[in-house]
Amino acid sequence: MVSRVGKCLLGKYLWVTNTLSSGVLLSFGDSIQQWLEKVSNEGKERPYDWKRTGRMFVVGLSQGPPHHIWYTRLDRVFPKKNLSSVSYKILADQIFAAPFFAFTFFLGMGIMEGKNIRAAIDEFKRKFISLYLFDWCFWPPVQFINFVWIPTTYRVIYVNAATVVWDVFLSYIKHYDQYG
């Protein structure tokens, strides 16, 4: 029974697994960040923001299918695991996917926070450089492991697991200026 479910979740319905894990792990990263905010808040009590975590969950769900498609297509375009193919995958991921997913994150979060599209785009512009610089430090080594040793079927799940660390940072970048 378990192997049958596993085959469905990692085979025929892998996109569902990838979508759900994106939502769950983005919200988990936000939970860790909120805990870090509380610990570092030096006695100022701030209640846990469940709506914020819910927004992170929904945005995570929205990013699961594009991640699924992205990694599937990267493997079709660059099927080898040699240094050249892996380097092209990492560069493509950094140049195309990273800005796209950062933009859709800020746009989705901003709209769910009640901001208009212009305000969400402005926030993206203000915070993108910090986010993108850290992205270049964090993701290339993670993606090297991903593209060399992780089978295609597990790529999004692996990325989502690594994303917990990334998501803590993402939540920080998104919310650091909202609390005084």
Q: What is the pLDDT of residue 167?
A: 87
pTM score of the predicted model: 0.86
pLDDT at 9: 47
Residue 168 has pLDDT above 80, yes or no: yes
Instruction: Please give the structure tokens belonging to residue 151.
Output: 């089978």
- 34-88 per-position pLDDT tens digit: 999 888 876 677 889 999 999 999 999 999 899 889 988 998 999 998 999 999 9
**In the predicted model, what is the mean pLDDT of residues 105-113?**
97
Distance CA 20, CA 40 (A): 30
Domain layout of the chain by residue ranges: 2-178
Residue 155 pLDDT: 77
